[in-house]
Structure 1
Amino acid sequence: MTRWALGVITSRNYEIGWRSSVSNIQNRDTVNDSDNVSQMNVPGVRVFIALNLIGATGLFIVMMTALFSVSVKRLSTWYSFCTSWIISCVSYSLLTFARQQSTQAPDFALCFIQTALIYSVPPLTSCTTLSLVVQILLNFSASLADVPSTTGINTFATLLIGPYIIFVIIFIGVCVYGAQNPITVVKAERGTYCHSTDGSWQKVSFGFVIAVSLVIVVIQAYLARRLYQNRKIMEWKSTTIAMTLRGLLFSLIGLITVMAAMAFIITSSHNLNFDIILAMLPVLAFVVFGTQNDLLMVWFRSCLLAG
């Protein structure tokens, strides 16, 4: 009888303890990597957020201008490219939008979502960049052959939908892992965004980015070679050559991504400088693709009409 009573008491205590731990996880606040706000570099974090907001705003304006202007024509993968970088900028700025950027323990649900996003958006942006470069290559080859550019439905669907399927798969994977291991979801001590203390997701995300970026560099080298070999033929095809050159220019920036991604994989910890380098990429995308003559002419005419 005594043993039975002790067994019941032990079972009850275990059940109460288990329920208490689950309740604590569900209601817990996100912790900082070191629980030390003083380590946050406020000016650096502001630069990081400002770059993301500038990139998102600039690309949104460029995309809307191209979408609603009759005189501006862009590839479908170009719109996907811009959209993915806007998603990236918004993902890294979630704490700012929620007014919790300087909070030591932001809302756990918010931190949970941001953690899943910051590991799934780098593969997304690298894949949409690859899709854009591939479509530029296809159009370039068609232009050289002086035939209309046609993309098969399967190829078209892969270029447009493929990057977002990869994004969703990684996002769900991080969410499942984070739900099972909520203690790994923390706000980085440098104060930029929430992430996982498990370095595996960082390696998966940026390992994927490195692989895709290397493919982009190979295609870029091939395009540059073809462009040089056919420079006399392409002189009069200004639209095609302009888009090709700008695609090559932004692809060169992909080398920065490769180096940054390798640094992310080699070391499990990094400082604010790496985050700022990554935040510069959408701004550079805006500068490269937002300064084309047809877009500038649309804005110039709009300014004249407004004046």
Structure 2
Amino acid sequence: MMEGHGPTDVSLQGISGEERRPISLLSPTVFVLLSNVPLEAEEMEHNVSTNDFHAIKAFVSLQFFGMIGMFILLSSALLSQTRILRRVRAASTPNEVIIRSRTWFSFCISWIISCFSYCLLFFAGKQMDPSQPPSYGLCLTQAALIYSSPPLRDNFCTLLRSVVDVPGCFDGEESWAGKNDEDFVPCYPVCDVASYNGRTSHCQLILVTQAFVQLIIVFQTGGVQPDIVERNLVNDPFCVMKPNAIPIVISLLTLMFALAVLGMLVLLSVKLHRTRKENAHWNPSRNQEQLVALTIRMMVFGFCGVIAMVISTVFLFNRSPGVKSDLALAILPPIGVIVFGSQKDFLRFWSGLFTSFARSVCPCLCSPRQQPVEQLKSQDKSKAQSHPEVLEMEIVPQGGIDDGTFLVLPHDEERGLVSPRRMRLNVE
């Protein structure tokens, strides 16, 4: 097979039956065949490194910030209801318990799972290296979590609950008797402070069931057809499934939920306007503050709903819009964190925690009002230990004649300190 050629030449016969021709072992063709390096991977690495690495880093950073922020909000709401932190807050500014409904908690958990799924390759160390693709199991897990946990479902359920709860939150002074204006802290949007947990339990149950069904379907489909699961950093910074029925159905469902969120925002605005007219006996100052906060949050979440609707429409008709288009999806979690974290009860809770921690670390940071009180208590205690005290009581008849009768009781050291004072008792 090596006739008339040097030791460094090889003659190969083409697949289509061409005649033999000598090819050097040092030629590019043989080098590529022997090294077994795919040219497509090199080309993809070059494209990603020059165009999309900054967008990938920004995408992962936004998702990571949203996950950490939602976790802090969820932990703060849960910890505010514990007895330990109630004792801590007793030494600082009064801070009420952060009251949220089960719908709000499920909304935060859904966002945490969604953000974690987008950052899964980053946690595994496979995000920024296009030459080393992730394992099949890791990629399938990320794709399944992404397709089964869109947080717009819980957003829709939360807004549905808010529409139901508007009259309960803005029904005037009578329903909030015994509460100060400072105690009324709106939730998301503002109406989750009402404890109507049973009105949307069926909606939550349906959405959770849908999420589990989607997760099982995606896992089963990816297990039967492993070749449809891929990670292409040129198009998306996460693992996806090649164009098939599942991504199209998920995009269609997300579009439907986005439209439902916008529709529920419109219904919430109309119902709030009607409720405001029906309750003319509101507290004007509290009404104005709550209405402004509600309007801002509704505008922000309406903007998020528009973004979700546009993204779903784009992914429905174009499965490879590019990495930069995914940044619009990544800004939604940070917006939710900012809106939730800017509420008054969260700010008071964090302020009280910071003040208590600073005082425990550095006692000199105590307020000037508390230092004299502590000094007076210590002085009274030292005086009480050095001088025994008695309790002197004067008994006076009902007729007003003072016979000078006194009742002197010795101080009982075991029962605590008793300040000396003179008590006048009327005796019949």
TM-score range, shorter chain: 0.7 to 0.9
What aligned pairs does 1:216-255 form with structure 2 within 5 A after superposition?
216-231=261-276, 233=279, 235=284, 236=286, 244-245=294-295, 246-247=297-298, 249-255=300-306
Separation in 1 of the partners of 2:109 and 2:291?
23
Identify the residue that residue 102 of structure 2 maps to in structure 1: 76
2:78 partner letter: L
User: Does residue 44 of the first structure (1) align with residue 72 of the second (2)?
Assistant: no
The answer as to whether partners of 1:143 and 1:240 remain within 8 angstroms in 2 is no
Separation in 1 of the partners of 2:154 and 2:330?
17
Separation in 1 of the partners of 2:299 and 2:211?
24
Deviation at 1:76, TM superposition (A): 1.4
Q: Which of 106, 112, 115 is 2:134 aligned to?
A: 106
Which one has the bigger helix percentage? 1
What aligned pairs does 1:87-166 form with structure 2 within 5 A after superposition?
87-104=113-130, 105-122=133-150, 125-144=151-170, 151=196, 153=198, 155-166=199-210
Separation in 2 of the partners of 1:256 and 1:295?
27
What aligned pairs does 1:179-198 form with structure 2 within 5 A after superposition?
179-190=223-234, 192-198=237-243
Separation in 2 of the partners of 1:88 and 1:242?
30
Q: Could you state the TM-score of these two structures normalised by the residue count of structure 1?
A: 0.81
2:45 partner letter: V
SS in 2 for 1:142: helix
Identity value in percent: 25
1:53 partner letter: F
Deviation at 1:241, TM superposition (A): 5.1
SS in 1 for 2:240: strand
1:45 partner letter: I
Identify the residue that residue 407 of structure 2 maps to in structure 1: none
The answer as to whether partners of 1:140 and 1:244 remain within 8 angstroms in 2 is no
Query: Relative contact order: is structure 1 or structure 2 higher (C-alpha 8 Å, sep ≥ 6)?
Result: 1
1:182 partner letter: P
Separation in 2 of the partners of 1:304 and 1:255?
40
Q: Which of 249, 269, 272 is 2:320 aligned to?
A: 269
Deviation by residue 1:46-86 (Cα, 9 ceiling, x = unmatched): 11100011000011101111111142111211111111011
The answer as to whether partners of 1:136 and 1:244 remain within 8 angstroms in 2 is no
Separation in 2 of the partners of 1:49 and 1:256?
18
Deviation at 1:219, TM superposition (A): 1.3
User: Does residue 57 of the first structure (1) align with residue 102 of the second (2)?
Assistant: no
Which one has the bigger strand percentage? 2
Question: Unpaired runs of 5+ in structure 2?
Answer: 1-37, 82-95, 177-193, 359-428
The answer as to whether partners of 1:217 and 1:252 remain within 8 angstroms in 2 is no
- How many residue pairs match? The answer is 272
User: Which of the pair has more CA radius of gyration?
Assistant: 2
SS in 1 for 2:149: helix
The answer as to whether partners of 2:163 and 2:267 remain within 8 angstroms in 1 is no
The answer as to whether partners of 1:126 and 1:209 remain within 8 angstroms in 2 is yes
Deviation by residue 1:79-133 (Cα, 9 ceiling, x = unmatched): 11111011000000100111111233111110011111121122xx111001111
Question: Unpaired runs of 5+ in structure 1?
Answer: 1-31
Distance verdict in 2 for CA 1:138–1:237, change over 3 Å:
farther
Q: Which moved more, 1:136-145 or 1:267-276?
A: 136-145
Separation in 2 of the partners of 1:238 and 1:76?
27
2:148 partner letter: S
Distance verdict in 2 for CA 1:92–1:128, change over 3 Å:
same
SS in 1 for 2:331: helix
SS in 2 for 1:102: coil
User: Does residue 291 of the first structure (1) align with residue 342 of the second (2)?
Assistant: yes
Q: Could you state the TM-score of these two structures normalised by the residue count of structure 2?
A: 0.59
